[in-house]
Every structure is written in structure tokens, then in C-alpha cells.
A and B are shown apart, each in its own frame.
Chain A
Amino acid sequence: MKTIISSALALALTGSAAVAQDTLPQASSQWFKDGQAAIQAVLDRQPNTNRAKNVILLIADGNGVGTNYATRLFDGQQKGMMGEENVLPYETPEFYSALVKTYNINAQTPDSAPTAGSMNTGVKQRFNLINLGENAIHEDCSTVEGNELALFSELMTDAGKSVGVVSTARITHATPAAVYAKTANRNWEDSVPEGCTAQKDIATQLIDALDAGTIDFAMGGGGRYFLPKDKEMGGLKGRREDNVDLVERATGLGAQFATDTAGFNQLKLDGSTPVLALFNDSHMEYEADRADDDEPSLADMTKAAIEYLSKNENGYYLEIEAGRVDHANHDGNAARVMRDGVAFVEAVALADELTNDEDTLIIVTADHEHAIAFNGYCGRGSDILGLCYDVAKKGIKHSDELLLADDGKPYTVIGYLNGTGSVLKKEEGANDYTGSRPELDQETATDLDYVQQALIPKSSETHSGEDVAIYAKGPWAHLVDGTIEQNVIFHIMNHAANAQ
């Protein structure tokens, strides 16, 4: 009886609320209508419980909630909007979303090795290690044996799928390495310490994976770790002290090899032979500095990877990393962060366009955030890379008045908590760090090479432990919900790929 009364009461309340809403003074506002449409879009969602034939994991390194926010505004402003209203392709109701806790087993502030490792194995890992269990110790080769974890790439290979890895960083760098490597030190990219026999260097592990068939398509930077010391090839110059020619080994296995855009354009993407493309000795160029005829864009590489991998009728696993969002953040150079961020956005949009929601799970996320922060109170449309302008009393757009700090100087919207942009500097012979904020104008602040002001002096800006977001679309994307541990991402991908 009590239940019946409650239900009746609820009905009555709902009914009266509906009547009242028709007459709300704000009902004719576009904001109100858009709010209703947003709810409807969520109500219209139908969980997709198909088995995922394909899984694409797109990671922008260092693109936490804050960095992604800045890219949203930058992208919008580049398109003539004020910026705040912009919606990135993965921010639509078509994508489910959640927050991700990124800490490592022994680190509040994570690094990119164990974070990517957690997404590729289903368990959190220790700082600076990749794909080794919780008992392995950093730089201790003797702890490798017995601690190797199984990788999503290996599971997918066992399921008959193809595997690809693409990055604008060195292909041996932490995030791409997590697809195929197991190492006690993320920096063992081209060598391991003398006497270490339990594992090989990361570059060798990639070619081993090509040989084993657990990697079919690898594209990124880092060519120097695949060639003997001083050997030059296609603009690359080797740095391997053991003088092993891994490129020769790869081509000996039948792999196609490319080092520039011309070679990239000639690759046969029919899936018949492995692909290895290394476009730079170290990381690929920042998007702001990249020449189209020198290196392909992240979107170009994404397109090629999908075209190649989709030839496998059993499907594929593809990890794509925008590796240099992180590097520009480390430099405190937001202008390059934003441009690599937009390149990532374009790669996501293309991956979505080239695949079918019915059979392809797309996950968009980051591995960690940075010590990036945002000043206030800026008016609408303040250039995200520029100075903070005051809120206008009339209209929408910011006023022409610059906001000034208590030192009488203007300040940028974006700042960093630490890094080379520190206002505290130590001059030659000085005993301490001292300083005040430099004068600043809009032209200086929006220059491509501008380094945002920071507080704590450090030679490189740091990551932060703040959450990142995850967005997902396709089979079992609705499992992306709430606030999750980073290793849960593996379980979502694995569930989707194995669903009955």
C-alpha cells in the first residue's frame, strides 16, 4: 500500500512539474532548448552489446581534462568561434565518458610507461616500468623473469586479429612500447645493461613482435634505435652501440619500410606484409613544425593503419598515440600543445569516420595530466593562448580591458605550476632564485614559441596526478562510466572483444 501511495505521489509531482516547465520564463532560451536536447540524446542511447571486431585506443599523451579543455577552446577559436562553446568530435552524446584515476602502484604522479601498460594489461604497474608485475623493480633486470604480463596485443593476436601501433613520439617510447614490450626500464630503448639477459631492448622487442606476428603495423619516430651507430639511411642516422641493423632484420622478415612521406605514400596497405615506418631519428616533428612532404600527419598515419588492418576479416587492435602533446607541455609551450592536440582531434574524427560503430570500439583518452592551470576571471572568447581580458558587462565577448595582477601586469589564461617558464630564476653566481613577472603583451603571449609563466623553477615541467577523461563509442562503450581506475580500460576492451 505504501508503494502505491508513493507512486501516485510521484506521478502527481511529475505531472505538475511538467506543466510548470512549459511556463518557465527561460523556456524559450536556446540554452534551455539545448539542455532538453542533450537529455533527449542520452535518453535515445541504445547500449551496443555486439562483439567488437575492432578496438582502437587513441591516447593523447599528457592530455588531461585541463589540457583537453585548452585544446577545445583553441580548436574552436581557430574555427572562428569564441571557443568555449566548441564541441570536440569525442565530446558529443554519441560517446560515453568517464573520469580516469591515473596513479601508478608506487606513484601519486604517474609516468607514461605504467599508465599505458595498465591499459594494455589490465593491472596497474610501477613507476618507469612497462608491462611487468608488481614485484618487478625499476632498473633491476633480475626482476624481469617471472613478472612478464600478458598483453592485449598478444590476446588479440591469439584471437586471429591484426595489431597496429602508431605514435608521433619514438615508436620505442613508453606509450607505444606498452603495446608490445616488457621492460624494467622505459629508457632501455636501444640497449640493456651489461649482463641483462632476461629482456631485450625495446626496439629489438618491436622487431621480435613483428617476427612473432603480434605486431603487424608500426609507425612513428625513433629510427636511430633501429640502425647501427652512424649508419645513415633515408635521412636517419643510427645510434645502436651493438651495431645490429634492425631495419635490415625487419625487411628480411618481409616488412615494408618507409622513412618519409614519399615512402609512406608508396606503402602497400593490402595487409599482406608487415609495415615499419620510422620518420625521424627521435620523435616526429611537432605539428606546428611539420612539413607535409617530410612526415605524414597523425591523421594520415591513422588512415593508413585502419586501411591496412581492416584487411584482416577477424579484425584488429590499434593503439594510436599523439605523443607530443606531452612534450610541448613539458616545455611549458602551450602553443605547440594546442596544435598537436588538434592533430589528435583530427585523427580521432578520421578513425570514427573510417569505422563502423556496429563492430568497432573506439576509446579516446590520455595517460596523465600535466601541471597546467588556468587563470581567471577571463571574459568569453579570450584567446586561450593569450592574455586574460575582463568580462564585459554587455554582450557576450570579453571587454577590451586586460585584467591585471596585483603587480600591475597582465597575465595569460594558461599558466603552469612549474617548469622553465618559472618567474623565479637563478643567475650565474647567484645563491638563490629570485624574480618578478616579466612585462607581457598579447603579441608576445600568442607567439608560437612563447613559454607560459610558471611558479616553481624546474628544467622540465612535470606531469600531475589529476584525472584524465575517457570517451568511448561502439560495442560495450557504455561500460565507460563513473570514475574508474586506468587499468579498467583494458577490461572494457577485452570484454568488448570477447563478448558472446
Chain B
Amino acid sequence: MDRRQLVAGLGLAPLARLLFPLPAAASDKPLKLRTLYNKDRSFSDLAKSLEGSRISVDGYMAPPLKADSRFFVLTKIPMSVCPFCETEAEWPRDILAIYTKRTVEVVAFNRKIVTSGVLELGTFKDPDTGFVSRVRLVDAVHERP
């Protein structure tokens, strides 16, 4: 019998979330990056409700802008530059800026990672890189699932 079965068995299922707070998405799975945005690029209700909370999001690490950084960009699909569809690299609009707790351990751009951090909403211009972000995870750590 695992923890969930025990709770259910005691008839406490409705209280499960109160007794054993689950991660932000109310499941064991990390959030999808796209769920933080509405189609018109405004923040989703989910994003607003999670502002200030520590959440986990899955995605890919775009190649960092510089070495030994504590910053990287999380993308929903591997960030690529297509010689026959783009004349230059373009950031997708729905990205997540990640400010890490420690120096970034770089992962291949096409390796799925799960990043956990505190969700911040609102425009912020990084004084070091000049990178402007609308949504961030700060104090973040990442791992390969």
C-alpha cells in the first residue's frame, strides 16, 4: 500500500492535497511550458496562480549565451536554426528565462530536462546580458528526467 492508497483507504482522498501538498501542477509531472501562456501570449490563469511558487517545467536548454553562466533559456522544443526557413536565429515567443542557483551545467540542446524554480512574471531586463524576459524561474535547478 502506498501513501495515496492509504489516504484513499481512510476516506481522506479529498483532503489528500492538503495533507500531502503536491507539486504545483497537482500531479507528479512537470508542467508544459506552453501552459504558462494563452494563445494571445498573455499569461495563463495557471501561470498567474503559480506566481511566486516553486514549480517544475519540462523543456530543452537552448545553448547558453556565455560560459559559466547562471542563466539559460528553456524552450518547449529544441532550439534550432534552420538554414532553409530562417535567415537568422530567432527566439520563439514562448520561452522561459531560467536563473539558476549554481553555475549552469550545460546539457545538449536537444536533451529533455526538467527545471524547478520560483516562478516570476513581468518584464525584466537582465543588466548583465541585456536579455529581456517576461517570465522566469529563479533560484532554479535542473535535471535530466
A residues with CB within 8 A of B: 111-112, 169, 173, 187, 189, 282, 285, 289-291, 293-294, 326-327, 330-331, 333, 420-422, 425-428, 438, 447-449, 451, 457, 459-460, 463
Residues A459 and B40 in contact, CB atoms below 8 Å apart? no
Residues A326 and B85 in contact, CB atoms below 8 Å apart? yes
Known contacts A294-B39, A449-B32, A459 near B108 by CB under 8 Å: no
Q: Is B70 engaged at the interface, CB distance under 8 Å to the other chain?
A: no
Residues A460 and B81 in contact, CB atoms below 8 Å apart? yes
Known contacts A421-B110, A438-B112, A460-B85, A333 near B77 by CB under 8 Å: yes
Residues A420 and B77 in contact, CB atoms below 8 Å apart? yes
Residues A447 and B32 in contact, CB atoms below 8 Å apart? yes
Residues B77 and A282 in contact, CB atoms below 8 Å apart? no
Residues of A within 8 A of B126 (CB): none
Partner among A293, A331, A447, A463 whose Cβ is within 8 Å of the Cβ of B84: A463
Partner among A112, A293, A425 whose Cβ is within 8 Å of the Cβ of B110: A425
Residues of A within 8 A of B78 (CB): 331, 420-421, 451
Given contacts A420-B78, A449-B34, 11 further A-B contacts (CB under 8 A): A285-B39, A289-B94, A290-B39, A330-B85, A420-B109, A425-B108, A425-B110, A427-B111, A449-B33, A460-B84, A463-B84
Partner among B33, B38, B87, B90 whose Cβ is within 8 Å of the Cβ of A187: B87
B35 to chain A, nearest CB (A): 11
- Determine which residue in A112, A293, A420, A426 has the highest number of CB atoms from chain B within 10 A of its CB, and name it: A420
Residues of B within 8 A of A289 (CB): 34, 39, 94
- Sort chain B's interface into a size bin: 20 to 34
- Determine which residue in A293, A428, A457 has the highest number of CB atoms from chain B within 10 A of its CB, and name it: A428
Residues of B within 8 A of A290 (CB): 39
Residues B77 and A331 in contact, CB atoms below 8 Å apart? yes
Residues B80 and A449 in contact, CB atoms below 8 Å apart? no
B96 to chain A, nearest CB (A): 13
Q: Is B106 engaged at the interface, CB distance under 8 Å to the other chain?
A: yes
Give Cα distance in the complex from A490 to B80, angstroms: 34
Residues A449 and B87 in contact, CB atoms below 8 Å apart? no
Write out, one digit per residue, whether chain B residues 85-121 have a CB within 8 A of any chain A CB (1) or not (0).
1010010001000000000011111111000000000
Residues of B within 8 A of A294 (CB): 39-40
Give Cα distance in the complex from A9 to B94, angstroms: 72
By Cβ-Cβ distance, the 10 closest A-B pairs, closest first, are A291-B39, A420-B78, A460-B82, A428-B106, A425-B108, A187-B87, A420-B110, A459-B80, A330-B82, A460-B80
Q: Within B11-29, which residues are at the interface with A (CB < 8 Å)?
A: none
The prevalent SS among residues of B at the interface is loop
Known contacts A282-B90, A428-B108, A449 near B76 by CB under 8 Å: yes
B77 to chain A, nearest CB (A): 5
Residue of A nearest to B82 (CB): A460
Residues of B within 8 A of A421 (CB): 78, 110
Give Cα distance in the complex from A439 to B83, angstroms: 30
Give Cα distance in the complex from A428 to B107, angstroms: 6
Give Cα distance in the complex from A74 to B39, angstroms: 22
Please list 17 pairs of residues, one from A and one from B, whose beta carbons are closer than 8 Å in the complex, sorted by A's number.
Answer: A285-B39, A294-B40, A326-B85, A330-B80, A330-B84, A331-B80, A422-B110, A425-B108, A426-B108, A427-B108, A428-B108, A449-B34, A449-B76, A449-B77, A451-B77, A451-B78, A459-B82
A448 to chain B, nearest CB (A): 7
B80 to chain A, nearest CB (A): 5
Write out, one digit per residue, whether chain B residues 40-51 have a CB within 8 A of any chain A CB (1) or not (0).
100000000000
Known contacts A420-B78, A420-B110, A111 near B40 by CB under 8 Å: no
Give Cα distance in the complex from A428 to B109, angstroms: 10
Residues of A within 8 A of B105 (CB): 428
A294 to chain B, nearest CB (A): 6
B53 to chain A, nearest CB (A): 22
A285 to chain B, nearest CB (A): 8
A377 to chain B, nearest CB (A): 28
Write out, one digit per residue, whether chain B residues 53-95 have a CB within 8 A of any chain A CB (1) or not (0).
0000000000000000000000011101111110100100010
Residues of A within 8 A of B81 (CB): 459-460
Give Cα distance in the complex from A133 to B76, angstroms: 42
Give Cα distance in the complex from A342 to B24, angstroms: 34
Residues of B within 8 A of A291 (CB): 38-40
B61 to chain A, nearest CB (A): 10
Residues of B within 8 A of A326 (CB): 85
Residues of B within 8 A of A449 (CB): 32-34, 76-77
Residues of A within 8 A of B77 (CB): 331, 333, 420, 449, 451
